[in-house]
Structure 1
Amino acid sequence: MTLSKSQIQDLYAFTRAHFVEHYDLQTELVDHLANDIEDMWMQNPRLSFEEAREKAFKKFGVFGFMEPIEQKAKAMNRRYLKYLWTELKEWFTLPKLMATVLLFLIFYFSFSSSIASYFMLGFYLLIAVWSFYKSIQLNRQFRRRKEISDKKWMLEEMIFKQAGFSRLLLLSQLPTWYNISGKLFSNFYFIIGFSVFTTLFFLWMYISLEIIPQKAEELLNETYPEFSL
């Protein structure tokens, strides 16, 4: 016996009812549940669909689908970071290397000046304001995409929402950095290190908020063959 289309749809509804929001993970779980149910029917054809479904679900343990959700999130996060790393490496090869060096020099000479603390505050506030604007823009874009497709993909959500957490972390640390920066900016090695960090941070934010969202269709089609906006 094989499952009917209505029973497959019932399994999708079942996963949603058990807090599985993303369509890609729903599909994996539905496939797993369907295979288990069909195996049970081979052994006991008189077993009802509902009984077989509950038995298949119990195999996931006390916490239900929580473990698969966590595993999927980790896998997608690794994939997202891989995209970030791939894009970042391009900024250390020609011709983008010239822009990276120029960016570093701007930060280095700014942090070497007598008003380095103000430059630091200005740069990071500028990044924070820009990232706040881009986060709002990407959230709106994500909502529009979801309305069109009526499906929620885990990697898609990361692409359009992930960078917002970096902005929150940045804003929370600004007062501390400003308070300690006065003494530290007199140290040559600190200036070099902080200039490198600021350059990498700026590139990371630019890649996550600008470049990767622009490549969303390509990355999602690569990850999900069934994806179609």
Structure 2
Amino acid sequence: MSTATLFAPKIRYTSTGESQFDAMATWRAELELAYLEIDGVWGEDTPDVLAGYADFLILNVGEHPIFDLLDSLSADAEFFADLFDDDAVDFMVQDQFDAMPFNRVMIITMVDVAAPLRGHDLGAWLVAETIARMASPTDTLVLLYPHPAGPCTDSASELAGTTALSRYWQRVGLEPINSQPDILGQSTAYTTLQEARALLSVVDKVEIGVPTSQLIEEPRGYVESRHTVIT
């Protein structure tokens, strides 16, 4: 079985245009890797490989009732609504972060990395880099709910999965929100997120071998060709 080596992760940002409000924008960060063919040849024409993605939204505080913004998107987004009071961040959440003013909120609603590529911290790296690129450096509240993707067989397995994911996402620099510990958050005004990103920078040098049979070409029309990792 021939094998390809995936390396050099990078991110492509795309506006998904799902919001009907000026106060909120929705985005997808796509995780791409270059790959080395089995004979060790790599060139400019070698397609990148789509390895996963993170969906997130950014909203402006003080412009519109935040429940309405989140409710207009999905149940995943609405789950965060209790952390807000009308068009502002709830005072209990602000107190947790020394009552710092938040002008923007970044909510990561979904992260998915192709199954054959898990175990290499690509998901944590993707989120850390996305926060650094897309969140303003001093006045953004970053939020994430660490829930398992896909259906769970029972409540015990769901709880175990959520607990493990909570520990994993805390490596990005997030911490449990005191008023709603199932949700993780952090202020960009602290250095915590920057320090966590620095620790995850080793992922820049990751090299992962996958069977070439798990790489399929995407139908991209006139856009440059790209492959996708399948299970």
TM-score, normalised with respect to structure 2: 0.22
The structure having more radius of gyration, on CA atoms, is 1
Q: Greater share of helix residues, 1 or 2? A: 1
